Amino acid sequence: MTPRLPHNWPNAEFSRFVERPAVRWHLQVAGAADTSPSIEDALQADTRYSARPVVLLLHGTGGSTHEWADVVPGLAAHAQILAPDLPGHGFSSGGEQQLSLSGMAEALGDLMQALDMHPDVIVGHSAGAAVALRLTLDGLAAPKAVLGLNPALIPPPDIWVDMLAPLAGLLVESSWLSRSAAWVAGRGSTVRSLLESSGARLSDGQVARYTELFTKPAHCAAALGMMNRWNLPALARDAVALRVPFTAYAGERDLWVPTRELAPHVERIPGAGLVRVPNVGHLMPEEAPGVVIEAVRGALG
């Protein structure tokens, strides 16, 4: 059964569900006659959009399309935007096989082929940047540029597992009564603490979106499964073969991917650049959407 998006979910007017053999995708398509009633119409109804470049936006572990709430509208006038919920996250389905970096990249490659949307620029936030690199290295996409926003090229912090694993366990074992408004409200402080541990500064509304997601056992399980299955040493080893320009944008307030630890990994990627962004924590797309929009527009040329 196709899930229903929560009331006032960001950019819901751009949302579509696409069934593929391995994943039922929730995605948002903007800038390509995006008000059409079907994905096929959205991509084919108006030839004026065919010459527009395609930008693929990939959120991080535990995130969803909501990360791009202010980015998608800001870019839709300049490009076709494809922003999916990664397998198992948000409102997309997906099994264990799709939670590894290579499995996730393969699933995304299948989606892009089905939609006939081939990205000129791939933007990945946190773990989404690792997926973007894997997608490109595996020949499943041929972008002109890859942008990493606080790219997770180092292992996730212990607090992710320490706080998320017990939360997932409670959700799986709980009855519907334990999902009452009071229980969710009490857990909201836990979600806020987790997000603030990254150095991010979010509004109450932004925190509420994560709280909404963490009421979903499948979402929590996918976040944990993704962290358990990604192979960063293999990615680092293979990244020396990257022949696509890669730019990492590092929030100087990021406590999960500190710039001092990220820099050596970026330096190993041929021709890669590192841009330091002041006064921004780990959740750059939500904290500084203007920075992201300008970075993408610069990459589009």
pLDDT tens column, 146-193: 999 999 998 766 665 555 555 544 444 444 433 433 344 445 677 888
Provide the percentage of residues in the chain whose pLDDT is more than 70: 82
| Beta pairing, strands 246-251 & 121-125 | unpaired
Q: How far is CA 66 from CA 27, 60, 72, 197, 286, in A?
A: 11, 11, 10, 20, 9
Task: Count Cβ atoms below 10 Å from residue 229 Cβ, excluding itself.
Answer: 16
Residue 190: per-residue pLDDT: 77
Contact 232, 155 (CB under 8 A): yes
pLDDT tens column, 257-273: 999 999 999 999 999 99
Residue 171: per-residue pLDDT: 45
CATH of 12-155+230-300, one of 3.40.47.10, 3.65.10.10, 3.40.50.1820, 3.40.50.300: 3.40.50.1820
Contact 299, 167 (CB under 8 A): no
Q: What is the mean pLDDT of the chain?
A: 85
Map out the domains of the chain as residue ranges: 12-155+230-300, 158-226
| Residue of 181, 87, 162 whose CA lies nearest to 128 | 87
What's the 3-state SS for the chain? CCCCCCCCCCCHHHEEEEECCCCEEEEEEECCCCCCCCHHHHHHCCHHHCCCCEEEEECCCCCCHHHHCCHHHHHCCCCEEEEECCCCCCCCCCCHHHHCHHHHHHHHHHHHHHHCCCCCEEEEECHHHHHHHHHHHCCCCCCCEEEEECCCCCCCCHHHHHHHHHHHHHHHHCCHHHHCHHHHHHHHHHHHHHHHCCCCCCCHHHHHHHHHHCCCHHHHHHHHHHHHHCCHHHHHHHHHHCCCCEEEEEECCCCCCCHHHHHHHHHCCCCCEEEEECCCCCCHHHHCHHHHHHHHHHHHC
- pTM (2 decimals)? 0.89
Q: How confident is residue 119, by pLDDT bands cut at 50, 70 and 90?
A: very high
d(CA 14, CA 214): 23
Q: How confident is residue 16, by pLDDT bands cut at 50, 70 and 90?
A: very high
